[in-house]
Structure 1
Amino acid sequence: MTTVKEREVIQEKFKQQMNEDELLNCMRCGFCLPSCPTYIESGYQESHSPRGRIALMKAVVDGIIEPDEDVERSLELCLGCRACEPVCPSGVKYGHLLEEARDIIQQNKKHSLPVRAIRNVVFKGMFPHQNRMRAATSLLGVYQRSGLQKVVRKTGMLKVLPDHLATMEKVLPNVPTLKQMKNRPTYLQAQGTQKKRVAFFSGCLMDTMFMGTNDATTKLLQLAGCEIIIPKTQACCGALHGHSGEKAQAKELAKRNIDAFEKENIDYIITNAGGCGGFLIDYDHLLKDDPQWAYRAKAFVAKLKDISSILVELEFHKQLLQLPNQVITYQDSCHLQNVMRTSGEPRQLLRAIEGVQFTEMKDADRCCGSAGIYNIVESDMSMQILDHKMEQAKATHATTIATANPGCLLQMKLGIEREGLSDSIRAVHIVDLLIEAYEYRQKKA
């Protein structure tokens, strides 16, 4: 709960920092309403819609209302999926407004000691340091391989956790050893004729917990004719910080990444996680007020491309890809779809696989409820959204659900487990599925 003094400071910061022109761009037309999951799942509450949240921000700026707990709650409940942006006739950059508002509130309110400690550990102590991320993730690997996981499950110790967290423990990927995480490549040659020279953004969680997917990504790039540079000095993308009111830290991470990649003579910077890509491509906005970095950020953003886009560009989908008979559907990553504006390419790749039937999921572009750590901090709304998503997934009769973001992948696996469908449906990252299709065809040849 904020004090009167804190609310006064927050209100003044809103007046100083919020982009009033962007707030005024919202025409209150309501085109965003059908695209907003929290508006729909909250029973059509205006305060939980993009239009309503912008109205609250503007009211705080104008001094009509105070930035009280109700305002903060409305902003907290937003997924940040940015599905409202592509449908907005005025082109309102809602995501930028949301991040600025959250940052003002978080930086000018006094958190309790436990909250301060957690935020410091997560935002400053762990994610900016890849060696610490590896060490922390390796503990999960020890838990999985040592037999402790079996003991914990057998004794029912997980019952002390909320149901969704206990279920999430079941769907976590098998984590590599610390030695494997440390022994990562920095350069890979193209296979066959070299067509492009690219740099790969390996990420933090992607290069630890989802290391196998990163390996599949670089293998696909090699097969498509890419020489690959993987800068050792790259850092976390900063998405978690930017979405959680830690913009200063996000800016520092952005500068580290720009510095790491601009040194390389490359055609593209490739990402394989929609959440990372969606934040990386906003670096030019994040650093727009920094004269020393604004131009460099624009140059960085101009080279960004999702793995699915470059594979289609280099006609990888025309290679022989095959899988045993199955039905595949695709769940869009919100930030890949709504921020990077990449949706056709993943579908083009999936439709190119022989032996499968691709079935479009209704509302495939609606958020699954993962949204970074949203499924942990806003579990009730997240599970409500996931239940709706699973209804649509089951209607496709798919045996495989492909997606393009680690958070979405875990959320869909969680949904499959919650529905008791783990024996008949699987969720997989699209690059892992493409490698599977490539290798299956090679064995059949």
Structure 2
Amino acid sequence: MSTLKEKQLIQAEFKKRMDENELLNCMRCGFCLPTCPTYIESGFQESHSPRGRIALMKAVVDGLIEPDEDFERSLNMCLGCRACEPVCPSGVNYGHLLEEARDIINQNKKHSFSAKLVRNTVFKGLFPYQSRMRTMTSLLSIYQQTGIQKIVQKSGMLKLFPESLTTMEKILPKVPNSKEMRQRPDQLEPLGVKKKKVAFFSGCLMDTMFMKTNDATMKLLQIVGCEIVIPKTQTCCGALHAHSGEKNDAKELAKKNISAFEETDVDYIITNAGGCGAFLIDYDHLLKDDPNWSDRAIAFSKKLKDISSILVELDFHKKELSLPSQIITYQDSCHLRNVMKTTAEPRMLLKAIQGSTYIEMKNAESCCGSAGIYNIVESEMSMKILDTKMVNVKEANAKTIVTANPGCLLQMKLGIEREGLTRNMRAVHIVDLLLEAVGENS
């Protein structure tokens, strides 16, 4: 519980740092309400809507309410999916307001010893260091490949944890071992005529836990004629930090990435994770007040492109793509759709696969409930959203659910497991499916 002094500090910082013009841009029209999963799943509580949260932020700025636990709870309940932004007639940058508000609260409240230990371990001690991410993933590899996982599952020990975490343990991908993660390329030549020179943002989780998907991404880029540079000095994008109230750390990570990619002299910087891409493309906003970095951040952001966009640009969808007969559907990555504005390209690629049938899922644009670590810290709401999503998945009668973000991929696998559909349905990242579809034709 925040003390009176902490509340006063938070209120003062809200007055100083929150963009009042942006807060006033909200006309309270309500166009955002039907797009907000937490508003719908909470039984239409105004405090769990974008409009309601903006009103609460403005009330704190004006001194009309205290930034108490209910206020903080309202902000924490938000997925940060930013589905409200494309439908807002005033163009309110809700995501920027949310990040600033969370950062103010986090930097001016006293955390418990355990919370501080976890935050320091995750945000300062783990994600910024790829070598440590590899070590953590290596331990998971040992757990999976030595039989320990089966022993733990049979022992019943997992029943001590929440159901969502127990199920998540079952659907984690088979991760690479330490040797595989150390043998990463820093440059790859195109297969055939060179059409573009690109840099690949390999990410932290993507280049460890989801390394095979990164490999598939680079293979596809080679197939369409890209020379690929993979900067060794790149680091975590900083999205998790910024969304969790660690904005200064996110800025430092952004600067490291900008420096790493400035040296590449490429046409594009390619991403394959919607959450990472959306935050990377927002570096221009993150560093807008830093005179030494603002122009460099703008130049960086202008080069960002999702893997599906460059594949369409270089006519991958015109190749001979085929799969065994099946129904395929697509679950949008919220940030890929709402921030990077990439919606048509993934669908164009999937519709080009011969032998399969593409079916558009009802409300494919709505969040699946993953949202970074939201499905861990706000498990109850996350599972409500996932249950609603799975109703639409089953209506599509799809065998394959395609996603474009690792968090979405795990969440959809979680939904399949919870519904007992593992024998009849799978979830897969779009690049893995496309590599499967191009097969020997590559």
TM (norm. structure 1) is 0.99
Q: Secondary structure at the match of 2:427?
A: strand
Contact 1:322/1:440 (8 A) holds in 2: no
Deviations along 1:50-70, one digit per CA (max 9) or x if unpaired, are: 000000000000000010001
Matching residue of 1:391: 391
| Structure 2 unaligned blocks of 5 or more | none
The one-letter amino acid paired with 2:149 is: Q
Task: Establish whether residue 158 from structure 1 lines up as the match of residue 143 from structure 2.
Answer: no
Deviations along 1:223-264, one digit per CA (max 9) or x if unpaired, are: 010000000000000000000000000000000000000111
Alpha-carbon shift at residue 386 of structure 1 (Å): 0.1
Matching residue of 2:426: 426
CA RMSD of aligned residues (A): 0.6
Q: How does 1:284-323 map to 2 (within 5 A)?
A: 284-323=284-323
Q: Which whole-Å CA distance do the structure 1 matches of 2:224 and 2:37 have between them?
A: 37
Matching residue of 2:269: 269
Task: Establish whether residue 74 from structure 1 lines up as the match of residue 71 from structure 2.
Answer: no
Q: Which whole-Å CA distance do the structure 2 matches of 1:91 and 1:173 have between them?
A: 38
Deviations along 1:366-386, one digit per CA (max 9) or x if unpaired, are: 000000000000000000000
Aligned positions, number: 442
| Structure 1 unaligned blocks of 5 or more | none
Q: Secondary structure at the match of 2:326?
A: strand
Q: How does 1:68-107 map to 2 (within 5 A)?
A: 68-107=68-107
Q: Which whole-Å CA distance do the structure 1 matches of 2:12 and 2:137 have between them?
A: 41
Q: Which whole-Å CA distance do the structure 2 matches of 1:162 and 1:94 have between them?
A: 32
Matching residue of 2:227: 227
Residue identity over aligned pairs, in percent, reads: 72
Task: Establish whether residue 365 from structure 1 lines up as the match of residue 365 from structure 2.
Answer: yes
Q: Which whole-Å CA distance do the structure 2 matches of 1:198 and 1:55 have between them?
A: 43
Matching residue of 1:408: 408
Q: Secondary structure at the match of 1:322?
A: coil
Task: Establish whether residue 353 from structure 1 lines up as the match of residue 356 from structure 2.
Answer: no
Q: Secondary structure at the match of 1:270?
A: strand
Q: Which whole-Å CA distance do the structure 2 matches of 1:382 and 1:215 have between them?
A: 30
Contact 1:323/1:440 (8 A) holds in 2: no
Q: Which whole-Å CA distance do the structure 1 matches of 2:70 and 2:221 have between them?
A: 47
Q: Which whole-Å CA distance do the structure 2 matches of 1:284 and 1:97 have between them?
A: 15
Q: How does 1:135-174 map to 2 (within 5 A)?
A: 135-174=135-174
Q: Which whole-Å CA distance do the structure 2 matches of 1:434 and 1:112 have between them?
A: 46
Task: Establish whether residue 183 from structure 1 lines up as the match of residue 183 from structure 2.
Answer: yes
Contact 1:409/1:428 (8 A) holds in 2: yes
The one-letter amino acid paired with 1:381 is: M
Matching residue of 2:436: 436
Task: Establish whether residue 341 from structure 1 lines up as the match of residue 320 from structure 2.
Answer: no
Structure 1, 66-75 or 156-165: larger mean CA deviation: 156-165
Q: Which whole-Å CA distance do the structure 1 matches of 2:163 and 2:77 have between them?
A: 20
Q: Which whole-Å CA distance do the structure 2 matches of 1:159 and 1:141 have between them?
A: 22
The one-letter amino acid paired with 2:97 is: L
Q: Which whole-Å CA distance do the structure 1 matches of 2:147 and 2:10 have between them?
A: 50
Q: Which whole-Å CA distance do the structure 2 matches of 1:427 and 1:252 have between them?
A: 34
Alpha-carbon shift at residue 441 of structure 1 (Å): 5.0
Q: Which whole-Å CA distance do the structure 1 matches of 2:401 and 2:143 have between them?
A: 28
The one-letter amino acid paired with 2:251 is: K
The one-letter amino acid paired with 1:391 is: V
Alpha-carbon shift at residue 137 of structure 1 (Å): 1.1
The one-letter amino acid paired with 1:43 is: G
Q: Which whole-Å CA distance do the structure 2 matches of 1:423 and 1:252 have between them?
A: 45
Q: Using a 3 Å threshold, how does the CA distance of structure 1 residues 441 and 226 change in structure 2: closer, same or farther?
A: closer
Alpha-carbon shift at residue 154 of structure 1 (Å): 1.4
Matching residue of 1:238: 238
Matching residue of 2:43: 43
Matching residue of 1:326: 326
Matching residue of 2:216: 216
Task: Establish whether residue 128 from structure 1 lines up as the match of residue 128 from structure 2.
Answer: yes
The one-letter amino acid paired with 1:164 is: S
Task: Establish whether residue 194 from structure 1 lines up as the match of residue 194 from structure 2.
Answer: yes
Q: Secondary structure at the match of 2:8?
A: helix
Q: Which whole-Å CA distance do the structure 2 matches of 1:71 and 1:228 have between them?
A: 46
Deviations along 1:280-314, one digit per CA (max 9) or x if unpaired, are: 01000000000000000000000000000000000
The one-letter amino acid paired with 2:292 is: Q
Q: Which whole-Å CA distance do the structure 2 matches of 1:436 and 1:207 have between them?
A: 20
Contact 1:322/1:441 (8 A) holds in 2: no
Alpha-carbon shift at residue 131 of structure 1 (Å): 0.4
Alpha-carbon shift at residue 440 of structure 1 (Å): 5.7
Matching residue of 1:118: 118
